[in-house]
Amino acid sequence: MLGNFSYHNPTKLYFGEDALGYLNEELPKYGKTVQLIYGGGSIKRNGLYDEIVAILKENGKTIVEDAGVMPNPTAEKLREGVKLAKENKVDFLLAVGGGSCCDYAKAVSVSVHCDDDPWDKYYIRFEEPTCEIVPVGCVLTMAGTGSEMNGGAVITNHEQKLKIGHVFGDDVMPKFSILNPKYTMTLPKRQMVAGVYDIFNHICEQYFSGEDDNTSDYLAEALMKSVVHSSLIAVENPEDYEARSNIMWSATWALNTLISRGKSTDWMVHMLGQAVGAITDATHGMTLAAVSLPYYRFIMPYGLKKFARFATEVWGINPAGKSEEELANEGLEALKNWMQTIGVAMNLSELGVTEDMIEAIADATILLDGGYKKLDRDDVVAVLKASL
Ligand code: NZQ
Ligand code: ZN
């Protein structure tokens, strides 16, 4: 483990079929007025909304409804949510949904007691919160982003054609998150596999960096194997509780900062995917899947050793008699086969991207330098074209 680092995660997790009951332990710790944040209606259809409203009422809370958080929450919606929270002087934000609701709740939390425009302050000027932060809790209904135990809050601005994440500190992370794998079972299959690929790629983003022998990489390999194993069971039988529970728990540990300790981390698949999302509004996990293989083929020569290790340790490929390059290629081939088996988007055309959109996507792509090769704009265009 090279370098110096600290590790602290303040989010308390309640996991399992009985987890929702712990809302009764958590809610009394916070004030009376709760902004209940949810999406387009899945929680009304599966009954979770009624259960949560009943618990809030039992705990004497006043509910401020904040419905309609869309996938890839927008700056406009964020401004509305902040206005609602200000007007009602809310004490607590309870997000019930996937990463979009959790992210949005965090973005609202740092903006309620602030006069600045939240998009400008946190997503353009990248400032840290300077005002009182309203506490957030999450009831997660989709496994993928890790938002339930991290400080990330990704917001999309369609006007500016930008989708940007701000990773806030400990004081913005959810105070608690309730993770009941059963809630994820009403997800449409496409959303489930998009989430699975999101998890897998979060691990890759941290794994494909650095040359040292690092415990984080061993943890990453174990998580990747669990995700692959459980996803193959879950696509065959979405009702398999064991598989769905493993996917949910892996999602949390894939992006709660544990496996990034001692790593520089890459995150370029996410930068490309977010740029695709900014232009197309496509499902997050699918945008990552569509650009991954061309990106990894592009950087493979610069991180050959790690790609060879990925092949043997994650995919169980026998290294006997093979060069590092052959192994690395077989590893990416195994990744491709798994992606096809679970049914994620294999190219950008499937997401409605056409060649004339490439320049705008490249414009929206933020270039990072933590991975094996820093891309320049021409490289980005080349990877995007190869992803079409
Ligand atoms: O809105 P509803 O009706 O609830 O439907 C949602 C939505 O349409 C549906 N859904 C969720 N749980 C369901 C369900 N449908 C049926 N049954 C359930 N149990 O699924 C759809 C997608 O939900 P969403 O929350 O958008 O998905 P996800 O969890 O993938 O979140 C995506 C957002 O998170 C950001 C993404 O960029 C995107 O904006 N990310 C956040 C990160 C973080 N905080 O660290 C990191 C990630 O890399 C990612 O960027
Ligand atoms: Zn992601």
pLDDT of the residue at 2: 82
Which atom of ligand 1 is closest in space to residue 147's alpha carbon? Answer: 44
Same domain, 224 and 362: yes
Determine the pLDDT at residue 64: 98
**Of the residues 129, 160, 183, the one at which a domain ends:** 183
Residue type, 177: S
Predicted TM-score (pTM) of the model is 0.98
**CB-based burial of residue 179 (10 Å sphere; 0-12 exposed, 13-18 middle, 19+ buried)?**
buried
- Residue 204 sits in the same domain as residue 143: no
Residue to probe by mutation, ligand 1, list 100, 104, 258, most atoms within 8 Å of CB? 100
Q: Of 132, 150, 183, which closes a domain?
A: 183
In a domain, 7, yes or no: no
Q: Is residue 4 part of a domain?
A: no
Are both 17 and 111 inside the same structural domain? yes
Beta strands (DSSP E) in the chain are 12-15, 33-38, 62-66, 92-97, 136-140, 152-157, 162-167, 176-179
Q: Separation of 56 CA from ligand 2 center, angstroms?
A: 31
Q: Are residues 261 and 352 in the same domain?
A: yes
Q: Do 23 and 154 fall within a single domain?
A: yes
In a domain, 37, yes or no: yes
Query: What's the pLDDT at 1?
Result: 84
Structural tokens at position 337: 């086969």
154 and 20, same domain (yes or no): yes
Counted domains in the chain:
2
pLDDT for 3 equals 83
Together in a domain, 56 and 155: yes
Last residue of a domain, one of 167, 183, 199: 183
Query: Domain check: are 256 and 371 in the same one?
Result: yes
Query: Which residue's CA is the closest to the ligand 1 atom numbered 16?
Result: 187
- Specify the CATH number for the domain of residue 339: 1.20.1090.10
Query: Could you say which ligand is closest to the alpha carbon of residue 149?
Result: 1
**For residue 28, is it within any domain?**
yes
Closest residue by Cα to residue 139 from 270, 7, 24 = 24
Is the same domain home to 111 and 197? no
List, chain by chain if needed, residues with CB within 6 Å of any ligand 1 atom: 39-43, 46, 71-72, 97-101, 103, 141-142, 144-147, 150, 152, 154, 165, 183-184, 186-187, 191, 195, 198, 255, 270, 284-285
CATH of the domain at 96: 3.40.50.1970
Q: How far is the CA of 41 from the centre of ligand 1 (A)?
A: 13
| 232 & 342 share domain | yes
Does residue 1 lie in a domain region? no
Which atom of ligand 1 is least distant from the CA of 198?
Answer: 48
Six token digits for residue 351: 């997401």
Q: Look at residue 61 and tell me if it is in a domain.
A: yes
212 and 130 co-located in one domain: no
Domain of 348, in residue numbers: 189-387
* DSSP track, 115-139: -S-HIIIIIIS-PPP-S----EEEE
Dist. CA 166 → ligand 2 center (Å):
13
Residue 160, C-beta contacts closer than 8 angstroms, at least 6 positions apart? none
Query: How do the pLDDT tens digits run along the chain, 388 residues long?
Result: 888 899 999 999 999 999 999 999 999 999 999 999 999 999 999 999 999 999 999 999 999 999 999 999 999 999 999 999 999 999 999 999 999 999 999 999 999 999 999 999 999 999 999 999 999 999 999 999 999 999 999 999 999 999 999 999 999 999 999 999 999 999 999 999 999 999 999 999 999 999 999 999 999 999 999 999 999 999 999 999 999 999 999 999 999 999 999 999 999 999 999 999 999 999 999 999 999 999 999 999 999 999 999 999 999 999 999 999 999 999 999 999 999 999 999 999 999 999 999 999 999 999 999 999 999 999 999 999 999 9
Residue of 70, 284, 344 with the most ligand 1 atoms within 8 Å of its CB, for mutation: 284
**Test site for ligand 1: of 46, 103, 257, most ligand atoms within 8 A of the Cβ:** 103
> Which residue is listed with tokens 């009624």?
50
In the block, tokens 């387009």 appear at 40
115/253 same-domain check:
no
Determine the angle formed by the axes of helices 215-236 and 189-207, rounding to 10 degrees: 170
Residue 383 lies in a domain: yes
Classify residue 269: in a domain, yes or no: yes
Ligand 1 atom closest to Cα of residue 163: 37
